[in-house]
């Protein structure tokens, strides 16, 4: 058996059926070894048009299915192209396994053709990276890689296999029964005292808020969050990626808080007397000023898998370490034992008041252009409840943050930690491969879409019928609005010209393409794209003067939120 065959067999033993990648000299032996598996349908290879997109697709697959996505690249430019996708998965805790082909062992370090020091460039952007030294290591390290990627805080793992190891022969293969790596997944600690303290804090709170993060999605703990929220009558806010944990139509869910989050969610979090973060790190995107939060003197409580997250900016008064689902069930047991419910009538009234007040700003009137909130409302009406929506990065992402209503867990994916433009289309493709029965949309902007838009060719070739809805404003809108609002209108280096025509661009790949003129068009084109079940691009023209609101001044506090367009005479500050 060749090393490359052993590699493929080891992947199959981990349940791998889909690989996103691009072959080259150094991973070619592996391709040769899954030739029959592709022919008989046991495995599927999706030939991407850029390795960054391969990593994003594996990431999208992982987020949609909950199991690691697999990508592959050759050494040199293949590996370095993967890096942006890997760091994106790392920041958002997504389990990706990257198999890279390395140069022959004898050539290493000699500036040989396409040698890029895979370990050197992978270490800082992955949970782990390993370069195999011997053919016998293959099965053990493939097993280890999947274990490390998917346990604890999930993340990307790189396994670099030199070409000559793939070409070697081996007899008497021994497949491992267990992992063997110096690594421990984080513990779940059932601390009775902490659980009781947390329960009492929640019951005694006058203004409790639950802050939900992505940890809830990975732990499949949405049901427990809703049980807790209902038990206490407690409003729920989320981080931006935590949106994927909460159905938007759950009545006590206010929405995502933070830099571009909903003002009512951020204000409720600020005004709360107990803030209970579950599966959420207190990131600088959610709490834009730790001093502002600490100054409120509220009680902070946290359930988090990663103990180091208790030491970043906010030190919780009650810190519970472990899996969100397990610990929430324990907490619910304690609350039931205590036998009383929260009394938050006045707080509920206040939260409703905040919602009512801020809703006037979130639905601005028509101004002759298509408005993002109405675009997203139209999309929502046109697609099934369990539709998956990914985004690129930019203004459209912020519009989706506040206005897109994802109605089921694991149905909203965005590059939130890294903010990687170009994430939308390939991650949607990965999600569609993982969940072929669901409608998968990439809600994108023209700047972001064009960074990986060439992968439309793959969507067409491989029949991955995603629908990209591209907000076309011919500018890097989020940068533009900062220049406009906070840099004395010195708009520089952001406006694009007319090239390319997005519709013709999409058509050139063989995708269906539509040009929207009004909301009715948008609705009908989406319905048609779903029915046709082929890769489609729907271009939606958006005014480049449109702002992503709410926002904050650079470095601003949540209380400095700007909810309406200050260029139109409003003072901008939206405090109730």
Partner 1 sequence: MIREKVVKVQGNYRDPGLIERVSANFRKFWVDIKWMNVNCDNNNNCILYLSLYDRYNLGNVDLSILTLSKMVDIDYVEIINDYNVKNFELNYNNSERYEWGEKVEQSAWQGIYRK
For position 108 contacting partner 1 by CB under 8 A, the verdict is no
C-beta neighbour count of 241 within 10 angstroms: 29
CB of 103 to partner 1, least distance (A): 16
For position 496 contacting partner 1 by CB under 8 A, the verdict is no
Q: CA nearest 217: which of 409, 363, 491, 382?
A: 409
What's the DSSP call for residue 568? G
Between 144 and 452, name the residue whose CB sits nearer to partner 1.
144
Residues 248-307 that bind partner 1 (CB under 8 A): 306-307
Which residue of 92, 115, 131, 401 would you call a contact of partner 1, by CB under 8 A?
131
555: region left, alpha or beta (phi > 0 left; psi from -120 to 50 alpha): left
For position 130 contacting partner 1 by CB under 8 A, the verdict is yes
Distance CA 494, CA 511 (A): 28
**278 preceded by a cis bond (ω within 30 of 0):** no
Name the token pair of 515: 């040009």
Between 128 and 496, name the residue whose CB sits nearer to partner 1.
128
Q: CA nearest 387: which of 420, 350, 412?
A: 412
H helices of 205-344, where? 214-218, 222-232, 263-271, 290-295, 324-338
Residues 451-470 that bind partner 1 (CB under 8 A): none
Window contacting partner 1 (CB under 8 A); options: 37-45, 308-316, 433-441, 463-471: 308-316
For position 124 contacting partner 1 by CB under 8 A, the verdict is yes
Q: Which stretch of DSSP H or E encloses residue 539?
A: strand 536-541
Between 128 and 231, name the residue whose CB sits nearer to partner 1.
128
CB of 110 to partner 1, least distance (A): 13
Which residue of 2, 127, 262, 355 would you call a contact of partner 1, by CB under 8 A?
127
Which residue of 62, 148, 320, 516 would you call a contact of partner 1, by CB under 8 A?
148
The residues near 180 (Cβ < 8 Å, ≥ 6 apart) are 140, 144
CB of 288 to partner 1, least distance (A): 19
CB of 163 to partner 1, least distance (A): 18
Between 260 and 300, name the residue whose CB sits nearer to partner 1.
300
CA distances from residue 14 to 177, 270, 289, 324 in whole angstroms, order as listed:
12, 45, 43, 26
Which residue of 28, 181, 332, 460 would you call a contact of partner 1, by CB under 8 A?
181
CB of 159 to partner 1, least distance (A): 13
Residues 519-538 that bind partner 1 (CB under 8 A): none
Site string for partner 1, 60-99 (x = CB under 8 A): ----------------------------------------
Which residue of 204, 311, 360, 508 would you call a contact of partner 1, by CB under 8 A?
311
Distance CA 384, CA 320 (A): 37
438, 387 in Cβ contact below 8 A? yes
CB of 218 to partner 1, least distance (A): 17
C-beta neighbour count of 411 within 10 angstroms: 26
Name the token pair of 6: 């052993």
Which residue of 123, 295, 343, 353 would you call a contact of partner 1, by CB under 8 A?
123
Residues in the chain: 576
For position 109 contacting partner 1 by CB under 8 A, the verdict is no
Window contacting partner 1 (CB under 8 A); options: 60-68, 115-123, 271-279, 504-512: 115-123
Distance CA 78, CA 47 (A): 13
Between 134 and 230, name the residue whose CB sits nearer to partner 1.
134
Q: What is the dihedral of CA 31, 36, 40, 44, to 10 degrees?
A: -10
Window contacting partner 1 (CB under 8 A); options: 120-128, 432-440, 453-461, 510-518: 120-128
CB of 51 to partner 1, least distance (A): 22
CB of 170 to partner 1, least distance (A): 20
Between 148 and 429, name the residue whose CB sits nearer to partner 1.
148
CA distances from residue 299 to 242, 275, 321 in whole angstroms, order as listed:
21, 6, 17
Q: CA nearest 247: which of 393, 382, 404?
A: 404
Window contacting partner 1 (CB under 8 A); options: 29-37, 127-135, 329-337, 536-544: 127-135
Between 312 and 341, name the residue whose CB sits nearer to partner 1.
312
Name the token pair of 347: 């707080």
The residues near 497 (Cβ < 8 Å, ≥ 6 apart) are 474
CB of 284 to partner 1, least distance (A): 14
What's the DSSP call for residue 389? E
Phi and psi at residue 208, to the nearest 5°? -80, 150
Between 8 and 277, name the residue whose CB sits nearer to partner 1.
277
CB of 132 to partner 1, least distance (A): 10
Q: What is the dihedral of CA 280, 281, 287, 293, to 10 degrees?
A: 100
Strand extents, DSSP E, 417-480: 440-445, 467-472
CB of 296 to partner 1, least distance (A): 22
Phi and psi at residue 236, to the nearest 5°? -120, 135
CB of 128 to partner 1, least distance (A): 4
Residues lying near partner 1 in the complex (CB under 8 A):
119-120, 123-124, 127-131, 133, 148, 181-183, 186, 306-308, 311-312
């Amino acid at each position: 058996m060749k090393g490359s065959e052993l590699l493929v067999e080891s992947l199959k033993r981990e349940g791998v059926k889909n690989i996103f990648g691009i072959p080259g000299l150094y991973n070619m032996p592996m391709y040769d070894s899954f030739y029959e598996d592709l022919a008989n349908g046991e495995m599927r290879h999706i030939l991407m048009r850029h390795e960054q997109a391969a990593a994003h697709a594996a990431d999208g697959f992982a987020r949609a299915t909950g199991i690691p996505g697999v990508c592959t690249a050759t050494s040199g430019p293949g590996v370095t192209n993967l890096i942006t996708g890997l760091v994106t998965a790392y920041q958002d805790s997504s389990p990706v396994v990257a198999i890279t082909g390395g140069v022959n062992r004898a050539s290493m370090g000699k500036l040989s053709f396409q040698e890029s020091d895979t370990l050197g460039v992978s270490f800082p952007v992955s949970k782990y990276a390993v370069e195999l030294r011997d053919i016998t290591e293959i099965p053990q390290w493939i097993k280890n890689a999947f274990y490390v990627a998917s346990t604890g805080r999930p993340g990307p793992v790189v396994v670099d296999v030199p070409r000559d190891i793939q070409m070697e022969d081996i007899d008497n293969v021994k497949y491992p029964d267990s992992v063997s790596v110096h690594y421990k997944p984080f513990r779940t600690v059932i601390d009775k005292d902490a659980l009781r303290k947390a329960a009492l804090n929640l019951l005694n709170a006058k203004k409790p808020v639950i802050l939900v993060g992505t940890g809830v999605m990975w732990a499949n703990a949405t049901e427990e969050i809703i049980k807790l929220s209902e038990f206490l009558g407690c409003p729920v806010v989320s981080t931006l990626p935590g949106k994927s944990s909460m159905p938007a139509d759950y009545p006590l869910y206010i929405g995502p808080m933070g830099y571009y989050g909903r003002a009512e969610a951020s204000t409720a979090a600020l005004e709360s007397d107990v803030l209970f973060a579950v599966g959420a790190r207190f990131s600088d995107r959610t709490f834009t000023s730790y001093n502002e939060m600490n100054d409120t003197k509220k009680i902070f409580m946290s359930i988090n898998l990663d103990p180091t997250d208790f030491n970043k900016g906010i030190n919780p008064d009650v810190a519970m370490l472990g899996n969100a689902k397990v610990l929430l069930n324990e907490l619910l047991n304690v609350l039931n034992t205590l036998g009383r419910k929260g009394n938050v009538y006045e707080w509920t009234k206040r939260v409703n008041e905040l919602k009512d007040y801020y809703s006037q700003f979130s639905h601005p009137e028509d101004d002759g252009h298509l408005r993002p909130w109405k675009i997203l409302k139209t999309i929502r009406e046109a697609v099934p409840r369990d539709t998956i929506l990914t985004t690129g990065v930019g203004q459209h992402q912020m519009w989706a943050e506040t206005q897109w209503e994802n109605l089921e867990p694991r149905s909203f994916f965005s590059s939130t930690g890294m903010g990687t433009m170009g994430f939308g289309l390939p991650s949607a493709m990965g999600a569609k491969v993982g969940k072929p029965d669901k409608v998968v949309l990439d809600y994108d902007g023209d700047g972001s879409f064009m960074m990986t838009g060439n992968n439309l060719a793959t969507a067409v070739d491989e029949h991955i019928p995603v629908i990209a809805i591209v907000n076309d404003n011919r500018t890097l809108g989020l940068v533009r609005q900062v220049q406009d609002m906070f840099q004395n209108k010195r708009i520089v280096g952001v406006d694009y010209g007319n090239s390319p025509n997005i519709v013709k661009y999409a058509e050139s790949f063989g995708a269906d393409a539509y040009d929207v003129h009004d909301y009715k068009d948008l609705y009908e084109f989406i319905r048609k794209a779903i029915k046709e079940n082929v890769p489609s691009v729907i271009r939606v023209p958006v005014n480049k003067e449109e702002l992503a609101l709410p926002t904050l001044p650079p470095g601003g506090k949540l209380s400095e939120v700007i909810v309406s367009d200050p260029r139109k005479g409003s003072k901008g500050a939206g405090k109730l």
